Structure 1
Amino acid sequence: MKQLIIIIIFLFFSNCYLFGQKYVLKNEKVIYSFQTNNGKLMTLCSDKTGEYIVYRFGTKDNVELEFPNNKDKSSWNKFEYSYWLRGGGIQNEGIDLNYVAFTIEKTKYVIYDTYFANGEKYEVGIRIINLENNKTVKIKGNRKTQKGTLIDFRFDKSIKEGEELYD
């Protein structure tokens, strides 16, 4: 029985390790990540030395999208951070909106982390916007699986500062 428990623990941790390795390489650190409500994983990582930033999305067995293809200093210029903060809680209808966006051809991807004081509404996820017809697909994330924060980009100007708000 004791051996069975050890085997189960080993398999659990090895699966977690393998799952993470496709999304976070040994030379990378997680800036921000979460699982979507349908079980997929989104990660925004950087090289530990700040050489590059990379977005990955997919299942535990398959990275469906990695952006950009070239992991070098130029990658930082392909992402844009925008935010809006209004404090004061419910009385002031406080909000904290954070977005990291990038574009591939005619599609814009927006990672979001938002808070609305009215209703204590927190949301994380990804918006995929077709720039030709402006149709949007929203992929909701599971906030309980969230790691890291986008807020650090307010002070770390590694990526471009944008003005567009998506809520």
Structure 2
Amino acid sequence: MKLKITAGTLLLLVIFVLTIFGQTLPNEKVIFSFDTQNGKTVTLSKDKKGRYLIYRFGTKNKTEFEFPGKSKSSWSAFTYSGWLRGGGVANAGIDLNYVYFTSDNFRYVIYDTYFAEGDKKSIGVKVINLRSKSITNIPGNPATRKGTLSGFREDTCITHGDELFD
């Protein structure tokens, strides 16, 4: 007996799997994730075999935005940039990490930053309207943080850039 799977059945299966597992599929590993202060979840995940990198935003039951899709070329849609200066407060130490991408005239910047002066840590997403240059900041809740962006410093799968957003 052959089992016929239609596109609709496949879509329902994907929705079911995302509902059970949240924003991460069973074949994915979370790189960086946090809840925003308004109850949404930001997740940057990769396929466990390195086939793709994917960003998701939404709730546990509904992915509201996913970028770019599950293809090997998805890695080239993302850019990592960062800056590390050690030395603590005496040297105004900083650890800035950003992963960003562009979709429909908006730049999405996932950030994970630390400033030794004031011991300031921040996570979140900045959405930059490339036409108007307006910036919407979506701060994350540090207590919900999982993972780090700093692993991209040495990762050759992702494009490296120089742009800093703080």
Pairwise TM-score range, normalised by the shorter structure: 0.7 to 0.9
Q: Does 1:158 align with 2:140?
A: no
The match for 1:51 is 51
The match for 2:14 is none
The match for 2:42 is 42
Secondary structure of 1:163's aligned partner: coil
Deviation at 1:61, TM superposition (A): 2.2
> Following superposition of structure 1 onto structure 2, how do residues 20-39 of structure 1 map, counting pairs within 5 Å?
21-39=21-39
The match for 2:68 is 68
The CA deviation string for residues 115-144 of structure 1, in whole angstroms up to 9 with x for no partner, is 000100000000000000110000000111
Report the Cα distance in structure 2 between the residues aligned to 1:76 and 1:18, rounded to whole angstroms.
22
The match for 2:95 is 96
Deviation at 1:81, TM superposition (A): 0.1
Deviation at 1:18, TM superposition (A): 6.9
The match for 1:7 is none
Amino acid in the other structure paired with 2:112: D
CA distance change for structure 1 residues 131 and 20 in 2, over 3 Å: closer, same or farther?
farther
Report the Cα distance in structure 2 between the residues aligned to 1:141 and 1:20, rounded to whole angstroms.
23
CA distance change for structure 1 residues 160 and 136 in 2, over 3 Å: closer, same or farther?
same
Structure-1-length-normalised TM-score: 0.86
Structure-2-length-normalised TM-score: 0.87
Amino acid in the other structure paired with 1:31: I
The match for 1:126 is 125
Deviation at 1:158, TM superposition (A): 1.2
CA distance change for structure 1 residues 124 and 19 in 2, over 3 Å: closer, same or farther?
farther
CA distance change for structure 1 residues 119 and 20 in 2, over 3 Å: closer, same or farther?
farther
Backbone CA RMSD of aligned residues: 1.4
Report the Cα distance in structure 1 between the residues aligned to 2:66 and 2:22, rounded to whole angstroms.
11
Structure 1 stretch 17-26 or stretch 79-88: which is displaced more? 17-26
Unaligned ranges ≥5, structure 2 = 1-16
The match for 1:11 is none
> Following superposition of structure 1 onto structure 2, how do residues 107-122 of structure 1 map, counting pairs within 5 Å?
107-122=106-121
Secondary structure of 1:144's aligned partner: helix
Unaligned ranges ≥5, structure 1 = 1-16
Checking the alignment, whether the CA contact within 8 Å between 2:75 and 2:158 is kept in structure 1 is yes
Runs (4+) of structure 1 exceeding 4 A deviation are 17-20
Amino acid in the other structure paired with 2:154: F
